[in-house]
């Protein structure tokens, strides 16, 4: 069973934390039967959450779950903006596919509306 959980120590993620250049990086992992199959690295700031990297193993739905988990936690903290500062430009393509970002941008604004907007998707009829 897949679970998405915050990891409360950063062992194994030293390189991404060093590359981020900040000390307050959080790691959330996707676990399958207790084995990490993906992660997202991020930090909370006063007005925004900054994502420094993620690995979804090529699974678009896992990418969606990892990003949404951090969005949800950000909204609970009153943060409405998520900025992606990813070292690998190739990682942005899936974020655009999932409509977290528009092409050429790295900022997702109004997280609360974004999260609430998803609730209406299930009620939408396909044409």
Architecture per CATH, domain 2-121, reads as: 3-Layer(aba) Sandwich (3.40)
Which sequence spans correspond to the domains of the chain?
A: 2-121
Alpha carbons within 13 A on the beta-carbon side of 64: 9
Q: What is the mean pLDDT of residues 30-35?
A: 94
Bin 37: left if φ > 0, else alpha if -120 < ψ < 50, else beta: alpha
Look at residues 44, 122, 38 and name the one whose alpha carbon lies nearest to residue 78. 44
Q: Is the pLDDT of residue 41 over 60?
A: yes
Q: What is the mean pLDDT of residues 74-92?
A: 94
At residue 118, the pLDDT reads 54
Q: Which residues contact 69 (CB under 8 A, 6 or more apart)?
A: 4, 28, 40
At residue 127, the pLDDT reads 42
Q: Where are the alpha helices (DSSP H) in 1-127?
A: 14-20, 60-76, 92-97, 111-121
Q: pLDDT band for position 117 (50/70/90)?
A: low
């Amino acid at each position: 069973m897949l679970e998405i959980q915050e990891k409360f120590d950063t062992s194994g993620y030293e390189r991404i934390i060093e590359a981020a250049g900040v000390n307050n990086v959080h790691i959330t992992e996707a676990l399958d039967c207790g084995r990490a199959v993906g992660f997202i690295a991020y930090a909370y700031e006063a007005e925004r959450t900054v994502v420094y990297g993620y690995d979804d193993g090529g699974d678009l739905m896992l990418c969606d779950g990892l990003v949404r988990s951090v969005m949800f936690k950000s909204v609970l903290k009153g943060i409405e903006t998520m900025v992606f500062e990813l070292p690998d430009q190739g990682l942005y393509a899936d974020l655009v596919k999932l409509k977290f970002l528009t092409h050429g941008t790295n900022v997702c604004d109004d997280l609360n509306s974004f999260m609430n907007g998803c609730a209406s998707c299930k009620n939408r009829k396909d044409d």
